């Protein structure tokens, strides 16, 4: 397709300053019926967390914060130079970020495909550096975010229902997303899509297109 569409302070927080995009680079996750059922049950059982909607699931490679339009253009140029082949990604193993018995983020770890994902994240980091962005202050930790605590300090995490098995899926693109605040949470809008294993990337026509369905 031509353009698809963390702890606290991640992709969906805050309002959008005029003339700037709140952005991040990620690998989209295709909808999985079993995982959607798990998220629905968890949302009912644990209202103290904001559970990600299934169509918005993604694996973040680099959170960018607010970017000027000129920086977006430079970043797209550098991201277009990434060279990587498609690979399969699999997730398993529930975990959390947070201390003192509180959870700020609930996530699934990455098993299959972890090494090519790490290498892809390193190329994204290099692209950000070449575009003129400061180095990330976060070490890359491959994970799929499922929920964030509504309280920035974290919340108690009761025992969760068993996480269903999720079939590995092919990773075929890297996407630069714009995060736009909405009535029911952030919407992730595609700005640029780099197909893996393809010589020429493609850009979306506008950054203000409709929210993506991952």
Q: What is the pLDDT of residues 24-80, one digit of tens each?
A: 999 999 988 888 988 998 888 888 999 999 999 999 999 999 999 999 999 999 999
* Mean of pLDDT over the chain: 84
**Averaged pLDDT for residues 81-100:** 91
Residue 29: predicted pLDDT: 93
Closest of 187, 169, 42, 151 to residue 107, by C-alpha: 42
Closest of 184, 191, 187, 172 to residue 84, by C-alpha: 172
Q: Which token pair is 143?
A: 């994970």
Gap between the Cα atoms of 64 and 26, Å rounded = 11
Gap between the Cα atoms of 155 and 143, Å rounded = 20
Gap between the Cα atoms of 109 and 155, Å rounded = 20
Is the per-residue pLDDT at 16 higher than 60?
A: no
Helix H or strand E segment including 119: helix 114-131
**Averaged pLDDT for residues 119-126:** 98
Residue 6: predicted pLDDT: 32
With a pLDDT cut of 90, the percent of the chain lying above it is 59
Residue 18: predicted pLDDT: 57
Residue 161: predicted pLDDT: 76
Contact in structure between 168 and 177 (CB atoms under 8 Å): no
Report the 3 state secondary structure along 146-194: EEEECCCCCEECCCCCCCCCCCCEEECEEEEEEEECCCCCCEEEEEEEE
CB-based burial label for 82 (10 Å; 0-12, 13-18, 19+): middle
Contact in structure between 72 and 23 (CB atoms under 8 Å): yes
Is the per-residue pLDDT at 3 higher than 50?
A: no
Residue 199: predicted pLDDT: 59
The CA distances from residue 52 to 42, 57, 87, 105, 122, in Å, are 10, 7, 24, 11, 26
Q: What's the pTM value of the predicted model, to 2 decimals?
A: 0.81
Contact in structure between 26 and 58 (CB atoms under 8 Å): yes
**Averaged pLDDT for residues 190-196:** 97
Is the per-residue pLDDT at 177 higher than 70?
A: yes
Query: What pLDDT band is residue 159 in, cutting at 50, 70 and 90?
Result: confident
Q: What is the pLDDT of residues 94-121, one digit of tens each?
A: 889 987 789 999 999 999 999 999 999 9
The fold of 20-197 is Cyclic Phosphodiesterase; Chain: A, (3.90.1140)
Catalytic positions = 58, 143
């Amino acid at each position: 397709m031509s353009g698809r569409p963390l702890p606290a302070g991640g992709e969906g927080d805050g309002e959008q300053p005029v003339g700037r995009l709140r952005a991040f680079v990620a690998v989209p996750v295709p909808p999985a019926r079993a995982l959607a059922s798990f998220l629905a049950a968890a949302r009912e059982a644990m209202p103290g967390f904001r559970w990600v909607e299934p169509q918005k699931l993604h694996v973040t490679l680099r959170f960018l914060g607010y970017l000027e339009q000129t920086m977006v253009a430079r970043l797209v140029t550098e991201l277009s130079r990434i060279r990587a082949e498609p690979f399969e990604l699999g997730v398993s193993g529930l975990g959390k970020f947070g201390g003192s018995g509180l959870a700020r983020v609930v996530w699934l770890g990455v098993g299959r495909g972890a090494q090519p994902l790490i290498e892809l994240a390193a190329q994204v980091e290099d692209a950000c550096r070449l575009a003129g962005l400061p180095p990330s202050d976060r070490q890359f930790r491959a994970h799929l975010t499922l929920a964030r605590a509504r309280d920035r300090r974290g919340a108690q995490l009761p025992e969760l229902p068993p996480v269903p098995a999720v079939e590995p899926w092919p990773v075929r693109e890297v996407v630069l997303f714009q995060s736009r605040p909405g009535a029911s949470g952030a919407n992730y809008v595609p700005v640029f899509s780099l197909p893996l294993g393809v010589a020429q990337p493609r850009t979306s026509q506008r950054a203000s297109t409709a929210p993506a369905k991952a």
